[in-house]
Amino acid sequence: MDTFAGTTAGASVERAIAAGRDAFASTWSPNRVAVAPGRIELLGNHVDYNGGPVLAAAIDRFIVVAASDESRGSQSLRAVAADIPDGSVVALDADALGDWRNPSPPPNSFDYVRGLIASLVQRPSLDPQLPASIAIAGDVPMGFGVSSSAALCVGLALALAEGFSGQEDVVLVAQEAEHRAGTPCGTMDQSASVAGGAIAFDGATLGVERLDPDLGDLVFALADSGVERTLGSSSYPRRVAESREALALVQGELGPDVANLAALAATQVDDLEARGILSGVLAQRARHVVDETARVHAGQEAMIAGDWPRFGRLMTESGRSSATLYDISHPRVEELVAAALGVEGVLGARMMGGGEGGAALVLLPRETVPDLERTLVSRYYRRHGMADREGLIHVCAFAPGAAVVPLLGRSAIG
Protein backbone atom coordinates (compact mmCIF):
# COMPACT_ATOMS: atom_id res chain seq x y z
CA MET A 1 0.00 0.00 0.00
CA ASP A 2 3.05 2.29 0.04
CA THR A 3 2.09 3.63 -3.40
CA PHE A 4 -1.13 5.02 -1.96
CA ALA A 5 0.27 6.20 1.37
CA GLY A 6 -1.38 9.37 2.59
CA THR A 7 -4.54 8.77 0.54
CA THR A 8 -7.97 7.37 1.39
CA ALA A 9 -7.23 4.03 -0.30
CA GLY A 10 -6.34 2.33 2.98
CA ALA A 11 -9.70 3.19 4.53
CA SER A 12 -11.50 1.78 1.49
CA VAL A 13 -9.48 -1.44 1.73
CA GLU A 14 -10.55 -1.81 5.35
CA ARG A 15 -14.21 -1.20 4.49
CA ALA A 16 -14.07 -3.72 1.64
CA ILE A 17 -12.58 -6.40 3.90
CA ALA A 18 -15.14 -5.67 6.61
CA ALA A 19 -17.96 -5.98 4.05
CA GLY A 20 -16.51 -9.26 2.80
CA ARG A 21 -16.35 -10.69 6.30
CA ASP A 22 -19.92 -9.61 7.03
CA ALA A 23 -21.16 -11.16 3.79
CA PHE A 24 -19.10 -14.32 3.39
CA ALA A 25 -17.48 -15.43 6.67
CA SER A 26 -15.73 -13.89 9.65
CA THR A 27 -12.53 -15.57 8.46
CA TRP A 28 -12.82 -14.24 4.90
CA SER A 29 -9.50 -12.82 3.73
CA PRO A 30 -8.57 -11.52 0.26
CA ASN A 31 -5.45 -12.66 -1.52
CA ARG A 32 -5.69 -9.93 -4.20
CA VAL A 33 -6.63 -6.28 -3.69
CA ALA A 34 -6.84 -3.86 -6.61
CA VAL A 35 -6.99 -0.08 -6.17
CA ALA A 36 -8.11 2.13 -9.07
CA PRO A 37 -8.48 5.94 -9.01
CA GLY A 38 -11.20 8.10 -10.48
CA ARG A 39 -10.24 10.86 -12.85
CA ILE A 40 -10.87 14.49 -13.72
CA GLU A 41 -11.04 15.67 -17.30
CA LEU A 42 -9.04 18.89 -17.49
CA LEU A 43 -9.65 19.74 -21.16
CA GLY A 44 -11.10 17.85 -24.11
CA ASN A 45 -14.77 17.36 -23.42
CA HIS A 46 -16.36 14.71 -25.70
CA VAL A 47 -13.46 14.64 -28.15
CA ASP A 48 -11.94 11.29 -27.19
CA TYR A 49 -14.48 9.22 -29.14
CA ASN A 50 -14.16 11.75 -31.97
CA GLY A 51 -10.45 11.01 -32.38
CA GLY A 52 -9.26 14.06 -30.51
CA PRO A 53 -6.86 14.69 -27.62
CA VAL A 54 -7.76 15.01 -23.93
CA LEU A 55 -5.89 16.26 -20.90
CA ALA A 56 -6.93 14.27 -17.86
CA ALA A 57 -5.64 13.24 -14.46
CA ALA A 58 -6.16 10.46 -11.95
CA ILE A 59 -7.33 11.80 -8.60
CA ASP A 60 -6.99 10.71 -4.99
CA ARG A 61 -10.41 9.06 -4.80
CA PHE A 62 -10.39 5.29 -5.26
CA ILE A 63 -12.39 2.13 -5.91
CA VAL A 64 -11.06 -0.96 -4.13
CA VAL A 65 -11.83 -4.53 -5.20
CA ALA A 66 -10.74 -7.19 -2.69
CA ALA A 67 -10.84 -10.75 -4.06
CA SER A 68 -10.46 -14.14 -2.41
CA ASP A 69 -10.03 -17.44 -4.23
CA GLU A 70 -12.72 -20.04 -3.58
CA SER A 71 -12.73 -23.77 -4.09
CA ARG A 72 -16.38 -24.28 -5.02
CA GLY A 73 -17.88 -23.68 -8.46
CA SER A 74 -15.49 -23.73 -11.40
CA GLN A 75 -16.50 -20.32 -12.83
CA SER A 76 -18.56 -18.81 -10.02
CA LEU A 77 -18.28 -15.38 -8.44
CA ARG A 78 -19.90 -13.97 -5.33
CA ALA A 79 -19.86 -10.19 -4.95
CA VAL A 80 -20.82 -7.65 -2.31
CA ALA A 81 -20.48 -3.85 -2.29
CA ALA A 82 -19.85 -2.06 0.99
CA ASP A 83 -21.57 1.09 -0.26
CA ILE A 84 -24.85 -0.57 -1.23
CA PRO A 85 -27.01 -0.29 1.90
CA ASP A 86 -28.69 -3.71 1.93
CA GLY A 87 -25.36 -5.57 1.80
CA SER A 88 -26.83 -8.30 -0.39
CA VAL A 89 -24.56 -10.82 -2.09
CA VAL A 90 -24.86 -11.30 -5.84
CA ALA A 91 -23.93 -14.75 -7.17
CA LEU A 92 -22.82 -14.98 -10.80
CA ASP A 93 -21.96 -17.85 -13.13
CA ALA A 94 -19.27 -16.88 -15.63
CA ASP A 95 -20.26 -19.70 -17.99
CA ALA A 96 -23.70 -18.12 -18.37
CA LEU A 97 -22.33 -14.61 -19.06
CA GLY A 98 -20.23 -15.12 -22.19
CA ASP A 99 -22.59 -13.18 -24.46
CA TRP A 100 -24.14 -11.00 -21.77
CA ARG A 101 -25.19 -7.44 -22.52
CA ASN A 102 -27.36 -5.38 -20.23
CA PRO A 103 -30.95 -5.59 -21.55
CA SER A 104 -32.15 -2.61 -19.52
CA PRO A 105 -29.63 0.24 -19.04
CA PRO A 106 -28.74 2.37 -17.18
CA PRO A 107 -26.48 -0.06 -15.34
CA ASN A 108 -26.16 -0.70 -11.62
CA SER A 109 -22.88 -1.54 -9.90
CA PHE A 110 -23.22 -5.30 -10.34
CA ASP A 111 -23.95 -4.89 -14.07
CA TYR A 112 -20.36 -3.71 -14.41
CA VAL A 113 -19.26 -6.91 -12.65
CA ARG A 114 -21.33 -8.92 -15.13
CA GLY A 115 -19.85 -6.94 -18.03
CA LEU A 116 -16.32 -7.48 -16.79
CA ILE A 117 -16.79 -11.24 -16.45
CA ALA A 118 -18.32 -11.41 -19.93
CA SER A 119 -15.36 -9.52 -21.41
CA LEU A 120 -12.92 -11.90 -19.67
CA VAL A 121 -14.73 -14.96 -20.99
CA GLN A 122 -14.24 -13.64 -24.53
CA ARG A 123 -10.45 -13.35 -24.09
CA PRO A 124 -8.77 -16.77 -23.97
CA SER A 125 -5.36 -15.10 -23.53
CA LEU A 126 -6.38 -14.00 -20.03
CA ASP A 127 -6.60 -16.17 -16.95
CA PRO A 128 -9.77 -15.39 -14.96
CA GLN A 129 -9.18 -15.85 -11.25
CA LEU A 130 -12.35 -17.81 -10.62
CA PRO A 131 -14.05 -19.10 -8.57
CA ALA A 132 -13.79 -16.14 -6.24
CA SER A 133 -15.62 -13.88 -3.84
CA ILE A 134 -15.11 -10.12 -4.03
CA ALA A 135 -15.91 -7.12 -1.88
CA ILE A 136 -16.04 -3.60 -3.34
CA ALA A 137 -15.66 -0.26 -1.57
CA GLY A 138 -14.56 3.23 -2.51
CA ASP A 139 -14.87 6.97 -2.26
CA VAL A 140 -15.01 8.02 -5.91
CA PRO A 141 -18.08 10.29 -5.91
CA MET A 142 -20.84 8.77 -8.02
CA GLY A 143 -22.68 11.04 -10.44
CA PHE A 144 -19.90 13.64 -10.31
CA GLY A 145 -18.47 12.91 -13.74
CA VAL A 146 -15.21 11.56 -12.31
CA SER A 147 -15.56 8.09 -13.82
CA SER A 148 -16.51 5.93 -10.87
CA SER A 149 -17.62 3.26 -13.35
CA ALA A 150 -14.25 3.26 -15.14
CA ALA A 151 -12.42 2.98 -11.82
CA LEU A 152 -14.69 0.10 -10.84
CA CYS A 153 -14.11 -1.78 -14.10
CA VAL A 154 -10.35 -1.25 -13.98
CA GLY A 155 -10.29 -2.48 -10.38
CA LEU A 156 -12.39 -5.51 -11.28
CA ALA A 157 -10.13 -6.36 -14.21
CA LEU A 158 -6.98 -6.26 -12.09
CA ALA A 159 -8.56 -8.22 -9.24
CA LEU A 160 -10.19 -10.93 -11.37
CA ALA A 161 -7.70 -11.68 -14.15
CA GLU A 162 -4.05 -12.30 -14.84
CA GLY A 163 -2.11 -12.36 -18.10
CA PHE A 164 -2.56 -8.77 -19.28
CA SER A 165 0.03 -7.87 -21.90
CA GLY A 166 0.20 -4.26 -20.74
CA GLN A 167 -1.77 -1.26 -19.58
CA GLU A 168 -3.68 -0.94 -22.86
CA ASP A 169 -4.98 -4.49 -22.44
CA VAL A 170 -6.42 -3.57 -19.03
CA VAL A 171 -8.00 -0.45 -20.53
CA LEU A 172 -9.72 -2.37 -23.33
CA VAL A 173 -11.11 -5.06 -21.03
CA ALA A 174 -12.49 -2.38 -18.70
CA GLN A 175 -13.99 -0.47 -21.63
CA GLU A 176 -15.70 -3.57 -22.94
CA ALA A 177 -17.15 -4.19 -19.48
CA GLU A 178 -18.71 -0.71 -19.55
CA HIS A 179 -20.04 -1.25 -23.07
CA ARG A 180 -21.66 -4.52 -22.05
CA ALA A 181 -23.17 -2.85 -18.99
CA GLY A 182 -24.74 -0.17 -21.20
CA THR A 183 -22.27 2.74 -21.20
CA PRO A 184 -20.93 3.61 -24.71
CA CYS A 185 -17.69 5.17 -23.45
CA GLY A 186 -14.31 5.72 -25.06
CA THR A 187 -11.03 4.71 -23.39
CA MET A 188 -9.86 8.01 -21.92
CA ASP A 189 -11.39 7.39 -18.50
CA GLN A 190 -9.85 3.95 -18.09
CA SER A 191 -6.51 5.16 -19.49
CA ALA A 192 -6.30 7.92 -16.89
CA SER A 193 -7.15 5.48 -14.09
CA VAL A 194 -4.56 2.96 -15.24
CA ALA A 195 -1.75 5.43 -16.01
CA GLY A 196 -2.11 7.70 -12.99
CA GLY A 197 -0.99 11.30 -12.68
CA ALA A 198 -1.77 13.77 -15.44
CA ILE A 199 -1.90 12.47 -19.00
CA ALA A 200 -2.33 13.58 -22.58
CA PHE A 201 -4.64 11.04 -24.20
CA ASP A 202 -4.84 10.66 -27.99
CA GLY A 203 -8.32 9.59 -29.03
CA ALA A 204 -7.11 8.64 -32.52
CA THR A 205 -4.35 6.23 -31.48
CA LEU A 206 -5.45 5.57 -27.86
CA GLY A 207 -1.91 6.54 -26.90
CA VAL A 208 -1.09 7.99 -23.49
CA GLU A 209 1.66 10.48 -22.69
CA ARG A 210 2.43 10.92 -19.01
CA LEU A 211 2.80 14.57 -18.03
CA ASP A 212 4.35 16.07 -14.92
CA PRO A 213 2.82 19.51 -14.44
CA ASP A 214 3.76 21.71 -11.49
CA LEU A 215 0.60 23.21 -10.01
CA GLY A 216 2.48 25.17 -7.38
CA ASP A 217 -0.08 26.45 -4.88
CA LEU A 218 -2.99 25.78 -7.23
CA VAL A 219 -5.55 22.99 -6.89
CA PHE A 220 -8.40 21.53 -8.87
CA ALA A 221 -11.67 21.41 -6.94
CA LEU A 222 -14.89 19.59 -7.76
CA ALA A 223 -18.15 21.25 -6.78
CA ASP A 224 -21.28 19.10 -6.70
CA SER A 225 -24.24 20.50 -8.65
CA GLY A 226 -26.68 18.17 -6.91
CA VAL A 227 -27.88 16.95 -10.31
CA GLU A 228 -27.07 13.26 -10.61
CA ARG A 229 -26.18 11.79 -13.96
CA THR A 230 -24.84 8.63 -15.55
CA LEU A 231 -23.36 8.17 -19.01
CA GLY A 232 -25.85 5.45 -19.86
CA SER A 233 -28.90 7.60 -19.12
CA SER A 234 -27.64 11.01 -20.28
CA SER A 235 -27.39 12.48 -23.77
CA TYR A 236 -23.95 10.91 -24.11
CA PRO A 237 -25.22 8.05 -26.33
CA ARG A 238 -27.05 10.58 -28.52
CA ARG A 239 -23.95 12.73 -28.89
CA VAL A 240 -21.96 9.66 -29.92
CA ALA A 241 -24.60 8.87 -32.54
CA GLU A 242 -24.71 12.49 -33.78
CA SER A 243 -20.92 12.52 -34.09
CA ARG A 244 -21.01 9.36 -36.17
CA GLU A 245 -23.73 10.81 -38.37
CA ALA A 246 -21.72 14.01 -38.87
CA LEU A 247 -18.57 12.03 -39.70
CA ALA A 248 -20.45 9.95 -42.28
CA LEU A 249 -21.59 13.15 -44.02
CA VAL A 250 -18.06 14.59 -43.91
CA GLN A 251 -16.52 11.42 -45.33
CA GLY A 252 -19.18 11.30 -48.02
CA GLU A 253 -18.02 14.74 -49.13
CA LEU A 254 -14.29 14.73 -48.38
CA GLY A 255 -13.51 11.02 -48.57
CA PRO A 256 -12.58 8.31 -46.06
CA ASP A 257 -9.15 9.86 -45.42
CA VAL A 258 -10.90 12.09 -42.86
CA ALA A 259 -10.68 9.53 -40.10
CA ASN A 260 -12.59 11.46 -37.45
CA LEU A 261 -14.15 14.83 -36.68
CA ALA A 262 -11.08 15.99 -34.75
CA ALA A 263 -9.06 15.74 -37.98
CA LEU A 264 -11.09 18.57 -39.54
CA ALA A 265 -9.82 22.14 -39.71
CA ALA A 266 -12.06 25.00 -38.61
CA THR A 267 -12.13 26.31 -42.18
CA GLN A 268 -13.40 22.94 -43.42
CA VAL A 269 -16.28 23.04 -40.95
CA ASP A 270 -17.09 26.56 -42.16
CA ASP A 271 -17.14 25.36 -45.76
CA LEU A 272 -19.19 22.23 -45.05
CA GLU A 273 -21.73 24.28 -43.14
CA ALA A 274 -21.91 26.97 -45.84
CA ARG A 275 -22.62 24.32 -48.48
CA GLY A 276 -25.24 22.62 -46.35
CA ILE A 277 -23.31 19.37 -45.93
CA LEU A 278 -23.34 19.93 -42.20
CA SER A 279 -26.24 21.88 -40.81
CA GLY A 280 -28.05 22.53 -37.55
CA VAL A 281 -26.92 20.50 -34.57
CA LEU A 282 -24.49 18.38 -36.59
CA ALA A 283 -22.54 21.49 -37.59
CA GLN A 284 -22.49 22.61 -33.98
CA ARG A 285 -21.26 19.24 -32.79
CA ALA A 286 -18.43 19.21 -35.35
CA ARG A 287 -17.45 22.79 -34.51
CA HIS A 288 -17.19 21.98 -30.81
CA VAL A 289 -14.95 18.99 -31.53
CA VAL A 290 -12.64 21.02 -33.78
CA ASP A 291 -12.46 24.00 -31.41
CA GLU A 292 -12.00 21.77 -28.36
CA THR A 293 -9.16 19.92 -30.08
CA ALA A 294 -7.38 23.24 -30.58
CA ARG A 295 -8.00 24.15 -26.94
CA VAL A 296 -6.39 20.91 -25.76
CA HIS A 297 -3.24 21.57 -27.79
CA ALA A 298 -3.09 25.12 -26.43
CA GLY A 299 -3.77 23.83 -22.93
CA GLN A 300 -0.93 21.33 -23.06
CA GLU A 301 1.43 24.13 -24.10
CA ALA A 302 0.18 26.29 -21.23
CA MET A 303 0.53 23.39 -18.77
CA ILE A 304 4.13 22.69 -19.80
CA ALA A 305 4.95 26.42 -19.56
CA GLY A 306 3.27 26.72 -16.18
CA ASP A 307 0.89 29.33 -17.59
CA TRP A 308 -2.07 28.39 -15.42
CA PRO A 309 -4.03 31.64 -15.96
CA ARG A 310 -4.15 30.77 -19.67
CA PHE A 311 -5.07 27.21 -18.85
CA GLY A 312 -7.92 28.45 -16.69
CA ARG A 313 -9.26 30.63 -19.48
CA LEU A 314 -9.20 27.63 -21.83
CA MET A 315 -11.13 25.60 -19.24
CA THR A 316 -13.84 28.25 -19.10
CA GLU A 317 -14.04 28.43 -22.90
CA SER A 318 -14.29 24.64 -23.04
CA GLY A 319 -17.25 24.67 -20.65
CA ARG A 320 -19.08 27.32 -22.65
CA SER A 321 -18.61 25.40 -25.88
CA SER A 322 -19.75 22.18 -24.20
CA ALA A 323 -22.89 23.92 -22.96
CA THR A 324 -23.77 25.68 -26.21
CA LEU A 325 -22.34 23.96 -29.30
CA TYR A 326 -22.42 20.45 -27.82
CA ASP A 327 -25.46 21.03 -25.60
CA ILE A 328 -24.26 18.59 -22.98
CA SER A 329 -24.41 20.69 -19.82
CA HIS A 330 -27.30 21.48 -17.44
CA PRO A 331 -28.72 24.85 -16.30
CA ARG A 332 -27.89 24.07 -12.68
CA VAL A 333 -24.28 23.20 -13.56
CA GLU A 334 -23.94 26.44 -15.53
CA GLU A 335 -25.34 28.36 -12.56
CA LEU A 336 -22.73 26.70 -10.35
CA VAL A 337 -19.94 27.52 -12.82
CA ALA A 338 -21.01 31.17 -12.92
CA ALA A 339 -20.93 31.35 -9.12
CA ALA A 340 -17.45 29.82 -9.03
CA LEU A 341 -16.14 32.23 -11.66
CA GLY A 342 -17.35 35.10 -9.50
CA VAL A 343 -14.86 34.21 -6.75
CA GLU A 344 -11.75 36.39 -6.82
CA GLY A 345 -8.69 34.31 -7.62
CA VAL A 346 -10.47 31.54 -9.54
CA LEU A 347 -8.60 30.97 -12.80
CA GLY A 348 -11.20 28.86 -14.60
CA ALA A 349 -14.30 26.73 -14.18
CA ARG A 350 -16.31 24.42 -16.39
CA MET A 351 -18.76 21.58 -16.54
CA MET A 352 -16.99 18.27 -16.72
CA GLY A 353 -17.59 14.75 -17.93
CA GLY A 354 -20.50 13.31 -19.85
CA GLY A 355 -22.75 16.22 -18.93
CA GLU A 356 -26.29 16.92 -17.81
CA GLY A 357 -25.33 17.11 -14.19
CA GLY A 358 -22.41 16.04 -12.07
CA ALA A 359 -19.78 18.49 -10.92
CA ALA A 360 -18.11 21.71 -11.94
CA LEU A 361 -14.32 21.67 -12.15
CA VAL A 362 -12.60 24.74 -10.69
CA LEU A 363 -8.93 25.79 -10.88
CA LEU A 364 -7.90 28.09 -8.05
CA PRO A 365 -5.21 28.83 -5.44
CA ARG A 366 -5.44 26.54 -2.43
CA GLU A 367 -5.79 29.55 -0.14
CA THR A 368 -8.91 30.59 -2.07
CA VAL A 369 -10.80 27.34 -1.37
CA PRO A 370 -12.54 28.75 1.76
CA ASP A 371 -13.76 31.74 -0.27
CA LEU A 372 -15.08 29.36 -2.94
CA GLU A 373 -16.91 27.31 -0.30
CA ARG A 374 -18.53 30.39 1.28
CA THR A 375 -19.57 31.80 -2.10
CA LEU A 376 -21.07 28.56 -3.37
CA VAL A 377 -22.99 28.04 -0.14
CA SER A 378 -24.47 31.54 -0.27
CA ARG A 379 -25.03 31.81 -4.02
CA TYR A 380 -25.88 28.24 -5.00
CA TYR A 381 -26.21 25.58 -2.31
CA ARG A 382 -28.55 27.50 0.00
CA ARG A 383 -30.76 28.39 -2.95
CA HIS A 384 -31.11 24.73 -3.89
CA GLY A 385 -31.54 23.35 -0.39
CA MET A 386 -28.09 21.75 -0.27
CA ALA A 387 -26.25 23.91 2.26
CA ASP A 388 -26.41 21.28 5.01
CA ARG A 389 -25.05 18.42 2.88
CA GLU A 390 -21.56 17.04 3.37
CA GLY A 391 -19.04 16.37 0.63
CA LEU A 392 -20.17 19.14 -1.70
CA ILE A 393 -16.66 20.30 -2.61
CA HIS A 394 -13.72 17.95 -3.18
CA VAL A 395 -10.20 19.35 -3.43
CA CYS A 396 -8.24 16.85 -5.51
CA ALA A 397 -4.61 15.85 -5.82
CA PHE A 398 -3.12 13.82 -8.65
CA ALA A 399 -2.91 10.12 -7.77
CA PRO A 400 -0.94 6.99 -8.71
CA GLY A 401 -2.32 4.67 -11.36
CA ALA A 402 -4.32 1.52 -10.68
CA ALA A 403 -2.44 -1.35 -9.11
CA VAL A 404 -2.74 -4.67 -7.31
CA VAL A 405 -1.39 -3.92 -3.85
CA PRO A 406 0.20 -6.09 -1.15
CA LEU A 407 -1.79 -6.29 2.06
CA LEU A 408 0.91 -5.49 4.55
CA GLY A 409 -0.24 -5.46 8.13
CA ARG A 410 -3.54 -7.11 7.27
CA SER A 411 -3.89 -8.29 10.87
CA ALA A 412 -4.37 -4.66 11.92
CA ILE A 413 -7.57 -4.63 9.89
CA GLY A 414 -9.08 -7.32 12.06
Domain shared by 139 and 254, yes or no: no
Establish how many alpha carbons lie within 13 A of residue 374's alpha carbon, considering only the half-sphere containing its beta carbon.
Answer: 7
- Dmax (CA) for the chain in angstroms is 70
Domain shared by 407 and 296, yes or no: no
Domain shared by 237 and 107, yes or no: no
The residue range of the domain holding 278 is 218-396
Domain shared by 197 and 63, yes or no: yes
Pairing label, strands 127-128, 32-43: unpaired
Gap between the Cα atoms of 355 and 401, Å rounded: 25
Domain shared by 259 and 388, yes or no: yes
Residues marked active site are found at: 189
Domain shared by 237 and 355, yes or no: yes
pTM, entire model: 0.92
Which CATH number covers residue 29?
A: 3.30.230.10
Domain shared by 294 and 407, yes or no: no
End-to-end CA distance of the chain: 17
Residue 1's pLDDT is 72
Residue 39's pLDDT is 96
Residue 409's pLDDT is 47
Which CATH number covers residue 294?
A: 3.30.70.890
For residue 133, which amino acid is it? S
Number of domains in the chain: 2
Residue 72's pLDDT is 75
Domain shared by 194 and 226, yes or no: no
Residue 231's pLDDT is 54
Domain shared by 205 and 241, yes or no: no
What residues in the chain have per-residue pLDDT under 50?
409-414
